[in-house]
Amino acid sequence: MAEKANGVSVASRFAHVETWIFDLDNTLYSHESGLWPQVDARITLYVSELLGLDAMSSRALQKYYYYRYGTTLRGLMHEYNIDPHAFLAFAHDIDYSALARDERLEQAVAQLPGRRFILTNGSRGHAGAVAARLGITGLFEDMFDIVDADFIPKPEAQTYARFLERFGIDPARSAMFEDLSANLNVPHQLGMETVLVLPATVDPHREAHEQARSESAHVAHHTTDLADFLTGLRHQMS
């Protein structure tokens, strides 16, 4: 939750915030839902079917593209000129039923003052499906997906710039919530308040460094419970 540091309320750091920006996967929902591993497996299958590789080779190539290009999609577009829309439709053809309505999150987000957005490296369709399952569809002004970003993913600076320009957002009066520390570097440089959302339990489907606490200056706050953090902020700001 939002606590006090050196006697100063964490909520005071958010008093100026008028725009609240949220990543989607593993940020607005917990990895314990098993949703992201489905997407990850679909991407591996796409690579396998595209290149005729076995599962192990496809997985290795998928991760190589992810680390080199920021997303496997961007790597496949660069190396094989694939249709990105077909890729996104294939990758997000998953079972969303394991994702339950989150009334705590719904109430916490609804009480935030100002504008609210989802900024994701996934597709708008995927974001919409996730939001619907969580019960938070009507709480956001809009979503900005990988298509809107011209398939250039976070943490590239131009993607944040495109997002901010489209919606007329002042980054100095904004807060960004992310599950990946690297994706908070540019928001911090732009003057945003940054929050790293960590898994409450270890996610075996992700690298250890992707779910570790960061002491870097670009991460101002940490939480393992987004709804609790937001609720704590509202209570302190009231």
DSSP letter string, 34-67: -HHHHHHHHHHHHHHHHHT--HHHHHHHHHHHHH
pLDDT of residue 105: 98
Task: Report the C-alpha gap between 231 and 18 in whole angstroms.
Answer: 16
> 116: which 2 tokens?
């609210």
Q: What are the residues whose beta carbons fall under 8 Å from the beta carbon of 135, sequence distance 6 or more? A: 101, 102, 103, 105, 106
Side chain identity at 7, as an amino acid letter?
G
> 233: which 2 tokens?
């902020």
pLDDT of residue 3: 46
List, for the chain, all residue ranges whose pLDDT scores fall below the cut of 70.
Answer: 1-8, 211, 238
Given a contact cutoff of 8 angstroms between Cβ atoms, the answer to whether 23 and 163 are in contact is: no
pLDDT of residue 207: 77
Given a contact cutoff of 8 angstroms between Cβ atoms, the answer to whether 106 and 138 are in contact is: no
10 Å Cβ neighbour count for 138? 9
**Alpha carbon separation from 63 to 23, 36, 40, 231 (Å, rounded):** 21, 15, 10, 36
Given a contact cutoff of 8 angstroms between Cβ atoms, the answer to whether 119 and 140 are in contact is: no
Considering the entire predicted model, what is its pTM? 0.92
Task: Report the C-alpha gap between 108 and 2 in whole angstroms.
Answer: 12
Question: What sign results for the dihedral spanned by CA atoms 198, 202, 204, 210?
Answer: positive
